[in-house]
Amino acid sequence: MSLKQAPSNDAGVPHLEGWGCELEAVCCSPSAMMAVDETPSRGPCRHKTQYHLVWVTWYRRKILVPGIAEYLKKVLQAVREFHPDWFLEETGVEWDHVHLHMVIPPKYAVSRVVETLKSVTTRQMKEKFPHVLRKVYWDGGGVWARGFLASTVGINEATIRQYVRPQGEQETGQAQLEL
Protein backbone atom coordinates (compact mmCIF):
# COMPACT_ATOMS: atom_id res chain seq x y z
CA MET A 1 0.00 0.00 0.00
CA SER A 2 1.41 3.37 -0.93
CA LEU A 3 1.23 6.53 1.12
CA LYS A 4 -0.70 8.48 -1.50
CA GLN A 5 -4.25 9.66 -0.89
CA ALA A 6 -6.68 6.79 -0.44
CA PRO A 7 -9.90 6.85 -2.45
CA SER A 8 -12.92 8.08 -0.53
CA ASN A 9 -16.60 7.24 -0.46
CA ASP A 10 -19.55 9.60 -1.12
CA ALA A 11 -19.15 11.21 2.31
CA GLY A 12 -15.48 12.00 1.68
CA VAL A 13 -14.28 9.35 4.16
CA PRO A 14 -11.13 7.56 2.95
CA HIS A 15 -11.55 3.82 2.49
CA LEU A 16 -8.61 2.07 4.08
CA GLU A 17 -8.47 -0.90 1.77
CA GLY A 18 -6.14 -3.61 2.96
CA TRP A 19 -6.13 -2.33 6.53
CA GLY A 20 -9.14 -4.38 7.65
CA CYS A 21 -11.25 -1.26 8.10
CA GLU A 22 -14.66 -2.29 6.87
CA LEU A 23 -16.32 -0.15 9.56
CA GLU A 24 -16.73 2.43 6.81
CA ALA A 25 -19.68 0.46 5.46
CA VAL A 26 -21.32 0.24 8.88
CA CYS A 27 -20.84 3.59 10.60
CA CYS A 28 -19.17 5.85 8.07
CA SER A 29 -22.09 5.85 5.68
CA PRO A 30 -23.16 9.28 4.45
CA SER A 31 -26.13 9.38 6.83
CA ALA A 32 -24.02 8.43 9.87
CA MET A 33 -21.24 10.85 8.93
CA MET A 34 -23.67 13.75 8.52
CA ALA A 35 -24.43 13.56 12.22
CA VAL A 36 -20.73 13.47 13.08
CA ASP A 37 -19.88 16.22 10.60
CA GLU A 38 -22.29 18.57 12.40
CA THR A 39 -20.02 18.54 15.45
CA PRO A 40 -16.82 20.56 15.49
CA SER A 41 -13.57 18.66 15.31
CA ARG A 42 -9.99 19.23 16.30
CA GLY A 43 -7.64 18.16 13.58
CA PRO A 44 -8.37 14.77 12.04
CA CYS A 45 -10.48 13.54 14.98
CA ARG A 46 -14.26 13.40 14.84
CA HIS A 47 -16.53 12.63 17.72
CA LYS A 48 -20.15 12.70 18.73
CA THR A 49 -20.23 11.58 22.34
CA GLN A 50 -23.88 11.66 23.29
CA TYR A 51 -25.34 11.32 26.77
CA HIS A 52 -28.76 10.93 28.33
CA LEU A 53 -28.59 12.89 31.59
CA VAL A 54 -31.18 12.86 34.36
CA TRP A 55 -31.26 14.62 37.71
CA VAL A 56 -33.98 15.17 40.29
CA THR A 57 -35.11 18.00 42.52
CA TRP A 58 -34.10 18.01 46.19
CA TYR A 59 -36.49 15.75 48.16
CA ARG A 60 -38.20 15.00 44.81
CA ARG A 61 -40.32 18.12 45.33
CA LYS A 62 -42.70 18.72 42.42
CA ILE A 63 -41.64 22.31 41.78
CA LEU A 64 -41.11 22.20 38.03
CA VAL A 65 -44.56 23.47 37.12
CA PRO A 66 -45.10 24.60 33.49
CA GLY A 67 -43.89 28.21 33.97
CA ILE A 68 -40.74 27.21 35.85
CA ALA A 69 -40.13 24.33 33.44
CA GLU A 70 -40.20 26.66 30.41
CA TYR A 71 -37.82 29.07 32.13
CA LEU A 72 -35.52 26.15 33.01
CA LYS A 73 -35.39 25.10 29.33
CA LYS A 74 -34.44 28.66 28.32
CA VAL A 75 -31.66 28.78 30.93
CA LEU A 76 -30.30 25.43 29.75
CA GLN A 77 -30.24 26.73 26.16
CA ALA A 78 -28.50 29.93 27.31
CA VAL A 79 -25.62 27.93 28.82
CA ARG A 80 -24.54 27.25 25.23
CA GLU A 81 -23.48 30.90 24.98
CA PHE A 82 -20.65 30.18 27.40
CA HIS A 83 -20.00 26.61 26.25
CA PRO A 84 -20.56 26.63 22.48
CA ASP A 85 -19.24 23.09 22.04
CA TRP A 86 -21.96 21.60 24.29
CA PHE A 87 -24.97 20.65 22.18
CA LEU A 88 -28.34 20.28 23.85
CA GLU A 89 -30.26 18.00 21.49
CA GLU A 90 -33.45 17.48 23.52
CA THR A 91 -34.80 18.66 26.87
CA GLY A 92 -37.57 17.04 28.87
CA VAL A 93 -38.79 18.44 32.17
CA GLU A 94 -41.13 16.53 34.49
CA TRP A 95 -42.56 17.81 37.78
CA ASP A 96 -39.58 16.60 39.80
CA HIS A 97 -36.77 15.74 37.37
CA VAL A 98 -35.00 16.79 34.17
CA HIS A 99 -33.97 14.68 31.14
CA LEU A 100 -31.35 15.95 28.69
CA HIS A 101 -29.94 14.46 25.51
CA MET A 102 -26.58 16.20 25.06
CA VAL A 103 -23.50 15.96 22.90
CA ILE A 104 -20.48 16.63 25.10
CA PRO A 105 -16.95 16.66 23.63
CA PRO A 106 -14.56 14.11 25.17
CA LYS A 107 -12.37 16.87 26.64
CA TYR A 108 -15.07 17.57 29.27
CA ALA A 109 -15.88 15.35 32.23
CA VAL A 110 -19.60 14.60 32.23
CA SER A 111 -19.75 15.20 35.98
CA ARG A 112 -18.35 18.74 35.49
CA VAL A 113 -20.89 19.47 32.77
CA VAL A 114 -23.76 18.35 35.02
CA GLU A 115 -22.29 20.30 37.95
CA THR A 116 -22.19 23.42 35.78
CA LEU A 117 -25.73 22.95 34.48
CA LYS A 118 -27.16 22.31 37.95
CA SER A 119 -25.39 25.28 39.54
CA VAL A 120 -26.34 27.72 36.77
CA THR A 121 -29.97 26.63 36.73
CA THR A 122 -30.20 26.78 40.53
CA ARG A 123 -28.83 30.31 40.62
CA GLN A 124 -31.07 31.52 37.79
CA MET A 125 -34.21 29.89 39.21
CA LYS A 126 -33.56 31.37 42.67
CA GLU A 127 -33.26 34.84 41.13
CA LYS A 128 -36.40 34.48 38.98
CA PHE A 129 -38.67 32.56 41.40
CA PRO A 130 -37.47 33.37 44.94
CA HIS A 131 -40.99 33.34 46.42
CA VAL A 132 -41.75 29.81 45.18
CA LEU A 133 -38.41 28.27 46.07
CA ARG A 134 -38.26 29.88 49.52
CA LYS A 135 -41.56 28.22 50.43
CA VAL A 136 -40.38 24.78 49.33
CA TYR A 137 -36.70 24.97 50.28
CA TRP A 138 -36.78 27.01 53.49
CA ASP A 139 -33.08 26.34 54.32
CA GLY A 140 -31.84 28.27 51.25
CA GLY A 141 -30.00 25.23 49.87
CA GLY A 142 -29.91 24.01 46.31
CA VAL A 143 -32.79 23.05 44.06
CA TRP A 144 -31.27 19.81 42.79
CA ALA A 145 -30.51 16.63 44.72
CA ARG A 146 -26.98 15.28 44.80
CA GLY A 147 -26.08 12.89 42.02
CA PHE A 148 -27.37 12.25 38.52
CA LEU A 149 -27.78 9.52 35.92
CA ALA A 150 -25.63 9.53 32.80
CA SER A 151 -25.93 6.93 30.09
CA THR A 152 -24.33 6.97 26.68
CA VAL A 153 -26.26 7.13 23.43
CA GLY A 154 -24.79 5.91 20.17
CA ILE A 155 -24.81 3.33 17.44
CA ASN A 156 -27.11 0.53 18.45
CA GLU A 157 -25.67 -2.66 19.92
CA ALA A 158 -26.59 -4.81 16.91
CA THR A 159 -24.57 -2.58 14.56
CA ILE A 160 -21.52 -2.74 16.81
CA ARG A 161 -21.78 -6.54 17.16
CA GLN A 162 -22.13 -6.86 13.38
CA TYR A 163 -18.86 -4.95 12.97
CA VAL A 164 -16.85 -6.50 15.81
CA ARG A 165 -17.78 -10.18 15.38
CA PRO A 166 -16.03 -10.81 12.03
CA GLN A 167 -12.84 -8.92 12.95
CA GLY A 168 -9.78 -11.08 12.45
CA GLU A 169 -11.69 -13.58 10.30
CA GLN A 170 -11.71 -11.61 7.07
CA GLU A 171 -8.86 -11.68 4.59
CA THR A 172 -7.10 -8.31 4.69
CA GLY A 173 -5.78 -8.61 1.19
CA GLN A 174 -2.15 -8.11 2.18
CA ALA A 175 0.47 -9.96 0.17
CA GLN A 176 2.41 -12.78 1.84
CA LEU A 177 6.14 -12.13 2.09
CA GLU A 178 8.39 -14.85 0.71
CA LEU A 179 11.82 -15.24 2.27
Q: Would you place residue 97 in the very low, low, confident or very high pLDDT band (cuts 50, 70, 90)?
A: very high
Q: Is 11 in the same domain as 89?
A: no
Residue 167: which domain range? 1-42+157-173
pLDDT score of 80: 92
pLDDT above 80 for 159: no
Q: Is 121 in the same domain as 134?
A: yes
Compare 170 and 28 and report the one with higher pLDDT: 170
Q: Would you place residue 175 in the very low, low, confident or very high pLDDT band (cuts 50, 70, 90)?
A: low
Q: Would you place residue 30 in the very low, low, confident or very high pLDDT band (cuts 50, 70, 90)?
A: very low
Q: Is 61 in the same domain as 149?
A: yes
pLDDT above 80 for 115: yes
Q: Is 55 in the same domain as 31?
A: no
Q: Is 38 in the same domain as 91?
A: no
Q: In whole numbers, what is the pLDDT of the chain averaged over residues? A: 78
Q: Is 147 in the same domain as 163?
A: no
Q: What single-letter DSSP state applies at residue 169?
A: T
78 in any annotated domain: yes
Total of domains in the chain: 2
- Lowest pLDDT segment from 15-19, 71-75, 80-84, 117-121: 15-19
pLDDT score of 19: 35
Q: Is 76 in the same domain as 11?
A: no
Per DSSP, the chain holds a count of helices (H) and strands (E) of: 6, 4
What are the angstrom distances between the C-alpha of 87 and each of 48, 49, 55, 82?
Answer: 10, 10, 18, 12
179 in any annotated domain: no
CATH of the domain at 60: 3.30.70.1290
Q: Is 109 in the same domain as 21?
A: no
Edge-first strand order for the sheet with 149-153 is 87-93, 97-103, 50-56, 149-153
Q: Is 56 in the same domain as 138?
A: yes
- Rounded to 10 deg, the angle between the 110-128 and 66-78 helix axes is 130
Average pLDDT on 159-171 reads 69
Q: What single-letter DSSP state applies at residue 131?
A: H
Q: Would you place residue 154 in the very low, low, confident or very high pLDDT band (cuts 50, 70, 90)?
A: confident
